Amino acid sequence: MRDGFPILLVSHDSDGIWQVLCNTTTKEADCIVVCLGCCFERDQSIGELSDLPPGWMAEREKPGEQWSRRPAAQEDEHEV
């Protein structure tokens, strides 16, 4: 959401938390808390992921490409 970076990774953690990431950094200091609705306003394609089950993630290489879904490894969920 910061600096115009695109949304390239969405994680629905097993604890129910959603992470919407640019996939350029995993530093905790770079994280910000934002409203999921604000993320949707910025990129409505994340609406396609509304049925992403807890414990799963979706990635894409660049905006406009199809989302690739997969179960998240436990270490993936806690990267950020």
What was the pLDDT predicted at 65?
96
Is 28 part of any domain?
A: yes
Is 75 part of any domain?
A: no
Is 45 part of any domain?
A: yes
Per residue in 18-77, pLDDT (tens digit) is 999 998 877 888 888 888 999 999 999 999 999 999 999 999 999 999 999 999 986 555
Question: Per the structure, how many domains does the chain have?
Answer: 1
Q: What range does the domain containing 24 cover?
A: 9-65
Per DSSP, the residues of 9-59 read EEEE-TTS-EEEE-SS---GGG-----HHHHHHH-GGGGGGTTPPTTEEEE
pTM for this entry: 0.83
Residue 75 DSSP code: H
